[in-house]
Structure 1
Amino acid sequence: MRFDEYRAHDATGLALLVASGDVTAAELVEIAITRAREVDPTLNALVQWQDDAARVRAAGALSGPMAGVPFLLKDLFQAQAGIVETSGSRSGVSSRPRVTDTVVQRWLDAGVVVLGRTAVPEFGAKGVTEPQAHGATRNPWDPARTPGGSSGGSAAAVASGIVPVAGASDGGGSIRIPAAYCGLFGLKPGRAVVPAGPRAGEMLFGSAVTGVLTRSVRDSAAFLDIMRGSDDDAPFEFAAPSTSHVEALGRPGPRLRIGVAARSALNNAPHPDVLAALDRARDLLVELGHTVEEVASPFDEEQLARDFLVPWFVHLAAEVSSASAAARPTTTEFELDTLVLAEIGRATRAVDHDAALARWQDHVRAIAAFHRRFDLLMTPTTAGPAPLIGAFDTPFVERVGARLALALRLGPILGRLGAVQDAVMRSLSAVPYTQSANLTGRPAMSVPLSETVDGLPVGVHFLAPPGGETRLLVLAAELESARPWFDRIPADVLSERVG
């Protein structure tokens, strides 16, 4: 099999070829490794290579619905026992989890062949993947731009054709943002649909979930079938439906009532090409018989942003503390931005943290009221196309001030500094649409329906009520059939470093 033939199939198609004997798992692994070695010097998508282990596994007996399919794990929340998991931090270079995460084991039981691990920002805390531990990961559509974060390495690997599907996770948009920037399909499952055990009951107070990035809707449906359902360590039970999501794709879905909100209080001027993409998606939905109405956002978006950030800062403080205790690193082994946000989290009063978490239910009530009138909420996925590498770097003067404040342990003052708040809100203004699904535990997806006039991918975002994964996937399959995107791939990436 040639690479162009390999890339012409999604994971489901490759698995069928292996099952029929038309190709072997070993052949697929060699194609994937060769492709990775060719493009990774440019993209910097992989932070760990497992070539030898992949070859051994591919040569053995494999079973399951994805037997023989090359696969990559995200270097965060996707542990393999005994394999280093850095979480994008220099403090994690010697971290070797003692257990394999449940969802990773389910992927392995389905027959995938893991080739390595993909790049993430430090502790997954940014919407771009530019960790100091590994360097910036680049977008196959334009290597001067980011693939997004925190699943940026996985998105770059799938978009460039290394693998047809890769592990991802989403605590504030980390599946859907890279999907939009890289022309992929990205589904964030709802809260508790995919297990977080055995190392956690839930991730990030229940707002973060595991998923995958794919090029086809049927691959995302198949992998959700593989992942879904509680494990023994879950804090409460989610019983997987008796009907598979793949089977649901074969049946026509109902005509939906969809509310569309183009702008956000965090960014009232999205890129014109993003608005044009939303208009084209609305027209397509109407052509397909759906009802689409313009609505105001159901959320108090500025309050939601604050309620998203406060627990994130506290969580990051806990991550830094835990990593420090495990590895005994010096503070220089953490990035300055991480230390600043962690210090703000450390200085956050318990009552303020509790109040932010309590207000998550206010946002749940707001979207529940919306869904009593509409089946789905549609927005852009991001406010613009993929930003340039370094667009969100902290300016030098602010870095000097932050280092001084850290040295003097001025956490409460850091939290009130306009520079810090401006930087955080500037980052959120680029991706103002995705956090609501995390806080409310709703399933959501980014669909690669369009591109800018310069040919960069643009995603359209849909948010569903609890249990709406099937509704989203069926609609996505309908859109995929009406406006196919699988063969829309970036020009080949040169195997030379950018910078």
Structure 2
Amino acid sequence: MKLSEYVNYDATGLAALVTSKQVTPSELVQLARVAHDEVNPSINAVIEFYEDAETAAGANGGLFHGVPFFRKDIGFTEAGRLQEKGSRLFKGHRSDTDSYFFRRARESGLRTIGRTTTPELGMSLLSESILHGITRNPWNLERSTGGSSAGSAAAVAAGITPISHGSDGGGSIRIPAAWCGLVGLNPSRGRISGGPNSQDASFGLTREFVLCRTVRDMAAALDVFSGPYPGDPFIIVQPNRSYVEELLQPTGTLRVGVARTKWGAVDLEPEVLKAVESTATLLEEMGHTVTDIEPPYESIEYTRVMLGRTRFSSKSLEEAARDMGRVITADTLEPINLKLYEYGRNSPGRAGDVEEVLRRMRFRVGEAIHSFDILLTPTMPMMALPHGGINSTINPTLSAEEFKAADAANIAYTGVFNVSGHPAVSLPLAQNASGLPIGIQIVGRFGDEATLVRVARDLEDATPWRHRRPKTRAGAK
């Protein structure tokens, strides 16, 4: 197989080639390495391509038989591998835990071949850190890929692998999916087990999944990674059939709530609003009932949630530093993260206070959107931002409160569903005049990824995106 052929396949397609013995898993890893060597110097997405990648473990057979896969350098872990979280504080740190997620990855046939960049501690919607530098968007190298699954998104968009691990605590899968022209699902709370040591992380706000290029890969990944384990705090309703089978099912007529107004302090860019309106028209033409919706919450509520969490993240960061024999200073944490650490350490309050803010917000949002089967919103109010600026944790000018307020304004359409627990997917349904991707978010009922799979399939069929190519892409020479 040539590199120019490899980059045109999604993960499902590559697995089929392996199963039919047209290509071997080691050949696919070798192609991923060639792709990496060609484009990674330009985009800085992969911080470690494992020396033993060609012999990476993975089951024979499975939905992703032999497909190369990356791990985001924060969140779920592989035992014995480096996990530095984009931070000098964790430089050289190796995990001793094998997450259930990566056990399932291997059982599905995926070969994890390296790790990708993230902003420090996953705390920025931009794609830069002091430890690993700037990760550049393959569509425009002067623009951010989005955080915090920055390197994973850039690697998939540029063709190094067709699928990669991501995590989402406020939009960190969906934001880079929107800015890099990918499919990015944040599943329902509890759909993906965090075991054995991170079940229902961060008050249930953080979930982990993948970034990919096609809806059928998203459906297959749901089949691979979904399901409970002993010790999970609750078991979400299980699907009636596999998600791959859902691709063959009719959608039916849905009640669609459409967000055409801003939900935070940031205005919608005109081309983003146009993309939302075009998608609403398309859904209406498919026979669905479309109704405009107002913001289901106030931005200040989400800011309070994020600031409240710092009390507990500061404590866990302090414990991690102590366990590693390290200290938290300006030499180990970036300016904003150091301010957030100090803010949390000096803030009074109890876990119950944060839980109550979350409870009220979940109730309010759930009540506001209950009458709809799905919601249609922008993923982000703007296209990919330039590198740097106030949203970077390297920026020393903002206070902790100012940074979180600015963050809440930008992720107004994504973070709310981390709080509520609803599944939400960003689809690459549009581009602006200069060719930058525009992500459109579809939100489902809690536990109803099946409807999202069917609707996403319908939109992919009606508005195909596989022909779109970023400027920086492996095999293009």
**Shared fold (TM-score, shorter chain, > 0.5):** yes
Partners in 1 of 2:160 and 2:474 — Cα distance?
Answer: 14
Q: 2:464 is matched with which residue: 476, 484, 499? A: 484
Q: Cα distance, 1:316 vs. partner?
A: 3.1
On the 8 A contact 1:267/1:383 being kept in 2, the answer is no
Are the structure 2 counterparts of residues 322 and 163 from structure 1 closer, same or farther at C-alpha, using a change threshold of 3 Å? same
Partners in 1 of 2:27 and 2:411 — Cα distance?
Answer: 39
Q: 1:151 is matched with which residue: 130, 149, 161? A: 149
Could you tell me which residue of structure 2 aligns to residue 411 of structure 1? Answer: none
Give the 3-state SS of the residue equivalent to 2:56 in structure 1.
helix
Could you tell me which residue of structure 1 aligns to residue 420 of structure 2? Answer: 440
Could you tell me which residue of structure 1 aligns to residue 385 of structure 2? Answer: 387
Cα deviation code 1:173-232 (max 9, x no counterpart): 001000000000111101111000112222111110111001000101101111111112
Give the 3-state SS of the residue equivalent to 2:52 in structure 1.
helix
Partners in 1 of 2:36 and 2:255 — Cα distance?
Answer: 43
Partners in 2 of 1:457 and 1:126 — Cα distance?
Answer: 20
Partners in 2 of 1:360 and 1:136 — Cα distance?
Answer: 33
Structural mapping, 1:62-461, within 5 Å:
62-238=60-236, 240-311=238-309, 313-330=310-327, 331=329, 332-351=331-350, 354-392=352-390, 399=396, 419-461=399-441
Q: Cα distance, 1:392 vs. partner?
A: 2.7
Q: Cα distance, 1:284 vs. partner?
A: 1.1
Could you tell me which residue of structure 2 aligns to residue 42 of structure 1? Answer: 42
Could you tell me which residue of structure 1 aligns to residue 11 of structure 2? Answer: 11
On the 8 A contact 1:67/1:112 being kept in 2, the answer is yes
Partners in 2 of 1:300 and 1:424 — Cα distance?
Answer: 14
Give the 3-state SS of the residue equivalent to 1:153 in structure 2.
helix
Partners in 1 of 2:315 and 2:65 — Cα distance?
Answer: 38
Give the 3-state SS of the residue equivalent to 2:133 in structure 1.
coil
On the 8 A contact 2:139/2:436 being kept in 1, the answer is yes
Partners in 2 of 1:207 and 1:91 — Cα distance?
Answer: 24
Are the structure 2 counterparts of residues 494 and 195 from structure 1 closer, same or farther at C-alpha, using a change threshold of 3 Å? closer
Are the structure 2 counterparts of residues 342 and 227 from structure 1 closer, same or farther at C-alpha, using a change threshold of 3 Å? same
On the 8 A contact 1:123/1:316 being kept in 2, the answer is no
Q: Cα distance, 1:239 vs. partner?
A: 5.7
Please give the TM-score of this superposition, normalised by the length of structure 2. 0.94
On the 8 A contact 2:191/2:228 being kept in 1, the answer is yes
On the 8 A contact 2:10/2:213 being kept in 1, the answer is yes
Partners in 2 of 1:395 and 1:86 — Cα distance?
Answer: 16
Are the structure 2 counterparts of residues 448 and 434 from structure 1 closer, same or farther at C-alpha, using a change threshold of 3 Å? same
Cα deviation code 1:57-113 (max 9, x no counterpart): 37x873322111011011111211111111111121232221210011100111111
Partners in 1 of 2:237 and 2:305 — Cα distance?
Answer: 30
Are the structure 2 counterparts of residues 268 and 96 from structure 1 closer, same or farther at C-alpha, using a change threshold of 3 Å? closer
Q: For structure 1, which runs of at least 5 residues remain unmatched after alignment?
A: 403-417
Q: Cα distance, 1:279 vs. partner?
A: 1.1
Partners in 2 of 1:422 and 1:91 — Cα distance?
Answer: 24
Q: Cα distance, 1:256 vs. partner?
A: 1.0
Greater displacement, 168-177 / 328-337: 328-337
Partners in 1 of 2:306 and 2:289 — Cα distance?
Answer: 31
Are the structure 2 counterparts of residues 394 and 17 from structure 1 closer, same or farther at C-alpha, using a change threshold of 3 Å? closer
Could you tell me which residue of structure 2 aligns to residue 406 of structure 1? Answer: none
Q: For structure 2, which runs of at least 5 residues remain unmatched after alignment?
A: none
Please give the TM-score of this superposition, normalised by the length of structure 1. 0.90
Partners in 1 of 2:454 and 2:463 — Cα distance?
Answer: 14
Could you tell me which residue of structure 2 aligns to residue 410 of structure 1? Answer: none
Partners in 2 of 1:364 and 1:231 — Cα distance?
Answer: 25
Could you tell me which residue of structure 2 aligns to residue 471 of structure 1? Answer: 451
Partners in 2 of 1:61 and 1:358 — Cα distance?
Answer: 44
On the 8 A contact 1:447/1:459 being kept in 2, the answer is yes
On the 8 A contact 1:392/1:427 being kept in 2, the answer is no
Give the 3-state SS of the residue equivalent to 1:321 in structure 2.
helix
Give the 3-state SS of the residue equivalent to 1:333 in structure 2.
coil
Q: Cα distance, 1:484 vs. partner?
A: 0.5
Q: Cα distance, 1:377 vs. partner?
A: 1.9
On the 8 A contact 1:33/1:115 being kept in 2, the answer is no
Partners in 2 of 1:305 and 1:394 — Cα distance?
Answer: 17
Give the 3-state SS of the residue equivalent to 2:141 in structure 1.
coil
On the 8 A contact 1:265/1:302 being kept in 2, the answer is no
Partners in 1 of 2:151 and 2:207 — Cα distance?
Answer: 17
RMSD: 2.0
On the 8 A contact 1:49/1:115 being kept in 2, the answer is yes
Partners in 2 of 1:320 and 1:101 — Cα distance?
Answer: 20
Could you tell me which residue of structure 1 aligns to residue 54 of structure 2? Answer: 55
Q: Cα distance, 1:302 vs. partner?
A: 2.4
Equivalent residues, number = 473
Q: Cα distance, 1:441 vs. partner?
A: 1.0
Partners in 2 of 1:268 and 1:157 — Cα distance?
Answer: 29
Partners in 2 of 1:461 and 1:221 — Cα distance?
Answer: 16
Give the 3-state SS of the residue equivalent to 2:161 in structure 1.
coil
Greater displacement, 424-433 / 228-237: 424-433
Are the structure 2 counterparts of residues 65 and 153 from structure 1 closer, same or farther at C-alpha, using a change threshold of 3 Å? same
- Pick the structure with more helix per residue: 1
On the 8 A contact 1:229/1:239 being kept in 2, the answer is no
Q: Cα distance, 1:345 vs. partner?
A: 1.2
